[in-house]
Amino acid sequence: MITLIKRIFRAGWHGLTRDGGMMVANVFIMTMAVSVVTSLFLFSNISQFVIGSIQEKVDVSVYFKYEATESDIMQAKESIAELPEVEEITYISKEKALENFTETHKDNVVLMESLAEVGANPFLASLGIRAAQANQYEAVVNYLENSNLNYLFEKIDYYQRKPVIDRIYALNSSFNRIGFALSLILIIVASLVAFNAVRLSIYNSREEIKIQKLVGASNWFVRGPFLVQGAICGFFAALISLLLFTLLTLGFNSQVAVLFPDLHLFSFFMSSFWMILLVQLLTGVVLGVVSGLVAVRRYLKV
């Protein structure tokens, strides 16, 4: 058995190196197929990262009446934090709200003069509430409006922010649907391209296959070298694709950071390096082996 496996691997490697031009063409086409799958993998993860970053910047604020004490606010905070939909809750006191406003608008003379004329702190204490998902804010607001703490609330700004929250939720849903459809189409195209490349390579060896069958070679002995060739082409394609995406993410890192400051493309790529390598190797090797397995069938007459 071991001797047979060695012969199959030797025959596969010899057949691959015998026609260098065909090997280069197969590896090139397989690289494109692997790159398509890698692009889809990165696009899916990056889009989720970007949408998640946007969602983290969206929250609902609950403003308390001016006479509400800090102990009342802390009690409300603890009650709201127990909701399963709530992922994070932040307390902003009157003093902190005034400090934030002053820091943001310190160069606006008119606003600073108006604030000085008021003479007192006009800002209300508030709780910033961030839900786990954009479609969960309505449940949180329903709880706030019907809770026994409602008498403490001056205003809940959910309805002012609802259009933005709804757009983010719709964007997330659209990304998922479009991403799935695009992935399916491109994976099918990449598979067909890889299959035709391997099929062409096997077509050039059709006479050799017929001779092997005439002298009594088993189907698996005939298939084996082509499966090895497909696996080797897929392996090299995965390594080339990995190098290509490493250089691309490094080269476009600064340009992407201008559009999405929270996204460091190269760091994101490196954090998923081993997963990406695994996806590329599996894609390349599986595409090569399956394409060889299917393409050689017509010459075996099984």
| 183/129 Cα distance (integer angstroms) | 35
Percent of the chain with pLDDT over 70: 71
Amino acid residing at 230: G
55, 168 contact by CB (below 8 A): yes
State the CB neighbour count (10 A cutoff) for residue 279: 19
Residues 123 and 138 in one domain: yes
Q: Quick check: 89 pLDDT over 80?
A: yes
Q: Which two tokens stand for residue 105?
A: 């608008």
The residues with which 60 forms a beta bridge, in sequence order, are 129
Residues 50 and 181 in one domain: yes
Domain stops at, among 114, 133, 159: 159
pLDDT of 302 reads 45
pLDDT digits (tens, 9 = 90+) for 146-202: 888 888 888 888 777 777 667 766 766 776 677 677 767 777 776 777 677 667 666
Query: What is the three-class DSSP state of 77?
Result: helix
Name the residue range of residue 131's domain.
58-159
Q: Quick check: 106 pLDDT over 60?
A: yes
Domain stops at, among 115, 140, 159: 159
- Specify the CATH number for the domain of residue 105: 3.30.70.3040
Domain stops at, among 128, 159, 190: 159
Of 209, 204, 208, 225, nearest to 292 (Cα)? 225
Residues 259 and 124 in one domain: no
Residues 143 and 217 in one domain: no
Q: Which two tokens stand for residue 161?
A: 């922010």
Residues 252 and 240 in one domain: yes
Q: Which two tokens stand for residue 32?
A: 């494109």
Predicted TM-score (pTM) of the model is 0.60
